Amino acid sequence: MSGPNRPRHVRVSPSSVDAAYARAMAGEEFVTSPSFAGDSRVLIACATLPKDGNTHYLNKLAVRATARWGERAPAGRICHCELLLQPRQGVWYRGSINKLEYAGEDSSGKPLYRWGTVHLRRVDPGSMADYSFFQIRASRAQQFQMWRFLTAQVGGEFNLQGYATNFVLGTWIGQQCFDPSWMFDRKGRWFCTELIVCALQAAGLFEHVCACQESPNSLYRLALAQRGGCGAVNPATVAYIGV
């Protein structure tokens, strides 16, 4: 293919990414020119508290502090969010940060965990079947800015203080908005929705939102309220897109 319609590829620079991640991403390219169906959207994925209550206490705290009376599930029970990007046709990546991540086993075989770090990993088949999904229209240039931001933040640490107090005490600990002066070059501290809002703001979206004040519940409400412009997606369908 030649001429002005030829897809343009931009290789992601690993300069600000951890060495192990850079090796894993060495072959990944982001197609910045529209070239396939469904290339003009990103997805916000929202997970609910498990019915058995088996989750981190901070999830329960954040959900209880930000739920509203009269909300119908899954609203009021959202405990985690991810941002899904499609760098190439049929390939989806999920970017976010978990409270905890597996860190091996101790001498007795019991699992060990540590505070989570920012990830951007390929979606596994069926791994997000329990999520609710919303699609947001975004150009390939906008999506590349989100991708660029997330790759720069991979390995960033968890904003424990902000997540534990912002929704309960009304503090403003963390990043209030995207800052291009450093967020493409240095890692920050994040919780999931703070990271996702800044990723969207890197592309000029959701600029009216204060990142460190958005909880999983409030981001779900925001996506739901903009449903007419963004569109809701069937989770059963999205779970198998690009995997």
Task: Kindly report, residue by residue over 168-177, the tens digit of the pLDDT.
Answer: 899 999 999 9
**Six-digit token pair at 108?**
């007795």
Domain extent listing, the chain: 28-238
**Six-digit token pair at 144?**
């590349």
CA 133 to CA 239: how far, in whole Å? 9
The one-character DSSP state at 34 is -
Task: Kindly report, residue by residue over 54-63, the tens digit of the pLDDT.
Answer: 888 888 888 9
At 239, the amino acid letter reads A
CA 185 to CA 122: how far, in whole Å? 22
Three-class SS of residue 229?
helix
CA 87 to CA 39: how far, in whole Å? 9
Task: Kindly report, residue by residue over 183-208, the tens digit of the pLDDT.
Answer: 999 999 999 999 999 999 999 999 88
